[in-house]
Amino acid sequence: MSPSLYQEVQHFYGRQMRHLDQGEHRAWAETFTEDGVFTANAHPEPQRGREEIEAASRKAGARLAEEGVRTRHWLGMLEVNERPDGSVEARTYALVLRTPKGGPTAVHLSTTCDDVLVRVGGRLQVKHRSVSRDDLQGS
């Protein structure tokens, strides 16, 4: 694994999470492949493809905007593994922080995030994401 790949993944996540937290729903969806899949132990069904991923983000964003809550997604403790086929396994811890207008900020969720990234037109995209919330143990 090259040092430049490691930081490229970090950079990618910085951009991706900013899209999510700023309600740039289309740009968020476009950080996934066309057929990207987003699964989570908190979701009854995976989100499949950019349309579903964008729609889910838009819905969640509208609810938070109504409540006047700002979210920040932090990813850290990155491990990267390059596969022979050129795809990239990227594992992170993810924290979701929420701040209502007037505060205070609170840690909303602690999760793990296991991605398979692929390169499309030179840029990384998420082909498969699996998010597991720490509070939903054994569920």
Interface ranges with its own copies (CB under 8 A):
1, 3-4, 6-8, 10-11, 13-15, 17-18, 68, 70, 72-80, 91, 93, 95, 97, 99-110, 134-135, 137-138
Residue nearer to its own copies on the CB measure, 41 or 55: 41
Residue nearer to its own copies on the CB measure, 3 or 121: 3
Residue nearer to its own copies on the CB measure, 25 or 73: 73
Beta strands in the chain (DSSP E): 32-40, 47-48, 69-82, 88-100, 106-120, 123-133
Cα maximum dimension of the chain: 49
In whole angstroms, the minimum distance from the beta carbon of 38 to its own copies comes to 19
In whole angstroms, the minimum distance from the beta carbon of 114 to its own copies comes to 11
Burial 121-133 (b: 16+ CB within 10 A, else e): eeebbbbbbbbbb
Residue nearer to its own copies on the CB measure, 58 or 70: 70
Distance of CA 27 to the CA centre of its chain: 12
In whole angstroms, the minimum distance from the beta carbon of 35 to its own copies comes to 26
Per-residue DSSP letters for 124-137? EEEEEEEEEETTST
